Amino acid sequence: MPNSELNVNSLENWLWEAACKIRGEIDAPKYKDYILPLIFLKRLSDVFLDEIKNLSEEYGSEEMVEDIINLDHSLVRFYIPKSARWNGIAKQTTNIGEYLTDSVRAIARENPRLQGVIDIVDFNATAAGQRIISDDKLRLLIDVLGRYRLGLEDVEPDILGRAYEYLLRKFAEGSGQSAGEFYTPREIAILMSYILDPEPDNEIYDPCCGSGGLLIKCYLRFRDKYGEDPSIAPLRFCGQEILHSTFAMAKMNAFIHDMAAQIALGDTMNRPAFTNPDGSLGKFDIVTANVMWNQDFANELYENDPYNRFGFGYPPASSADWGWIQHMYASLNEGGKMAVVLDTGAVSRGSGNVGRNRERDIRKEFVERNLVEAVVLLPENLFYNTTAPGIILAINKDKKKENEILLINASKLFAKGRPKNYLPDESIEQISEIYLGWREEEGISRIVTNEEAAKNDYNLSPSRYVAQNDEDDTLALEDAVVLLKEAEEGRREADGMLKGVLQEMGIEI
């Protein structure tokens, strides 16, 4: 009989046991690729049975409800064929991989919204003539995952997100850089939802949404604040993701939360999915993202942009951070606000340099146009793909305070964890209260004017303005690499200019 108690500790023990059942047959970072779709399938099956039970109170019997639903699938949020329900899967003893694959494909056929989402895994797949995961291992995995009921009254809607976070935290180290590309630590996503503080009828967009965590935390923040009052206009969500497997996870997450979400697959910087009929970029009330830090994009992307996103200037080829910021800004409607996670160098690189610097010059434009609202310096060792600290940059077209920027140094507000540090709940509350209350706190936050930022050559690093004991001013490796690339790029430009001048003088080199 399934256990109905699934708290955080039992969830983690449950997932650990599930992972142990398939250990040895696949690499640890791939555990989630098999476990999460099955949890999703179990959740869908249990919720569907809950809906049948609820409808039977109106129609008289579950058998009658089954007959009615077979004729009209619109009576339920999604339809699960009998052969694909968990009780049938749990009884299967032979050809389990084939049966599971047929089940998820049957669900996708009956529910077009789930096509390319639930059916992305072939549980019967082979490699070099061998099954990737055997029926025996699948049998054990199904037995473990069937231990808990995941219906409407049994678990929180965030069950899939929490499971995803745990599996990444436990096993993603093996996937190195890739894990950090699509996973934002839970507490950072929660903090960003407080900073963005969505209001009724807002439309929220994440241009590189990964597994959908930032969108979901905004949804949960809104629900905590306003409840589920049907008179309150709901939020609407849009997200784009470049990796198909992660796109599928975002779709699952949005589906399981019952969110009004459009998730698109594709390369946002080259082919943004959310555009208007006239070809211009779609506009949103809130934009949020954790972009890949210091990406390399060719100058042609900026110079030949059909969406007019880069009017503040072209970022260097060594770092696309301010390219992403400009894409997000161009996606804001009038009065909209955005928050983005970046590496610390995005708010300081180039300041103090003699002459032009592309990043500093773009940053200057944002400050002088009174758009930068706040910068939060995060602690070290929060992210999976780096030990370096990051920052949250908030940009607002309707700032609380004209010509002021709130700088929060949260670098010490962490708790030690394994394998990563984390922001405890009290730190999230402290930072969000400082931001929402727009206040200074000794050793934590400071409000500076745009003029003071200009005097510091538009260096917006909170550590420059809010000193803390034993603060390490050593340049982060990622920033050093970017500065080296910038220097090399500058040298190439100078060499090209010198060559042109010498050629005009008739001097061959």
Order of all β-strands in the sheet with 372-377: 261-265, 236-241, 203-206, 284-290, 332-343, 390-396, 372-377, 404-409, 445-449
pLDDT for 177-232, tens place per residue?
A: 444 444 688 899 999 999 999 999 999 999 999 889 899 999 999 999 999 888 99
Q: Give the pLDDT confidence score for residue 25 in this predicted structure.
A: 78
- The total of structural domains in the chain comes to 2
**CATH no. for residue 44?**
1.20.1260.30
Among candidate residues 210, 139, 204, 219, the one with its CA nearest the CA of residue 172: 210
Return the SS3 of 416: coil
The verdict on residue 483 lying in a domain is no
Alpha helices in 369-458 (DSSP H): 425-437, 450-455
Contact by Cβ (8 Å): 322, 371? no
Backbone angles phi, psi at 282, to 5 degrees: -65, 155
Full DSSP string of 221-269:
HHHHHHTT-TTSPPPEEEEEESSHHHHHHHHHHHHHTT--EEEEES-TT
Which single residue is written with the structure tokens 């899967």? 89
76 belongs to a structural domain: yes
Three-class secondary structure of residue 448 per DSSP: strand
Same domain, 28 and 42: yes
On whether both 149 and 168 belong to a single domain, the answer is: yes
- 257/336 same-domain check: yes
What's the pLDDT score for residue 175? Answer: 47
Which pLDDT score is estimated for 180?
42
Report the predicted TM-score, pTM, of the whole model to 2 decimal places.
0.83
Distance CA 312, CA 449 (A): 21
Decide: helix, strand or coil at residue 131: strand
| Same domain, residue pair 267 and 349 | yes
The Cα-based distances of 218 to 107, 109, 151, 288, 332 in angstroms read 29, 31, 23, 9, 17
Could you give the CA distance from residue 246 to residue 315 in angstroms, rounded to a whole number?
28
Check residue 412 and give its pLDDT: 95
Summarised one tens digit per residue, pLDDT across range 300-314 is: 999 999 999 999 999
Look at residue 24 and tell me if it is in a domain.
yes
List, for the chain, all residue ranges whose pLDDT scores fall below the cut of 50: 1, 173-182, 472-474
- Regarding whether 335 and 197 lie in a shared domain, the answer is yes
Among residues 127, 126, 133, 107, the alpha carbon closest in space to that of 118 is found at 107
Note whether residue 486 is domain-resident.
no
Question: What pLDDT score was predicted for residue 1?
Answer: 41
Backbone φ and ψ for 171, nearest 5 degrees, come out as -125, -5
Angle between helical axes of 159-171 and 31-59 (0-180°, round to 10): 170
Q: Which two tokens stand for residue 312?
A: 């503040």
Return the pLDDT at 442. 94
Q: How far apart are the first and last CA of the chain?
A: 83
User: What is the structure's pLDDT at 472?
Assistant: 47
374 backbone dihedrals φ, ψ, rounded to 5°: -155, 155
**Domain end point (choices 144, 174, 204):** 174
Q: Could you give the CA distance from residue 212 to residue 253 in angstroms, rounded to a whole number?
A: 7
Q: Provide the b/e sequence for 45-78 (b: ≥16 CB within 10 Å).
A: bbbbbbbbeebeeebeeeeebeeebeeeeeebeb
Residue 57 lies in a domain: yes
SS3 388: coil
113 and 227: one domain?
no
- Residue 439's pLDDT is 96
Q: Which amino acid would we find at residue 444?
A: I
Residue 204 to residues 198, 214, 235, 236, 329, Cα–Cα distance (Å): 8, 10, 7, 6, 13
- d(CA 432, CA 369) in angstroms, rounded, equals 25
Tokens 């997932």, residue? 15
Question: Domain of 162?
Answer: 8-174
Tell me, letter by letter, the H, E, C secondary structure of 169-210: HHHHHHHCHHHHHHCCCHHHHHHHHHHHCCCCCCEEEECCCC
Task: Look up residue 164 and give its two tokens.
Answer: 């995803």
Question: End of a domain among 127, 152, 174?
Answer: 174
CATH of the domain at 397: 3.40.50.150
Does residue 1 fall inside a structural domain? no
What the block records as the tokens of 428 is: 């999230």
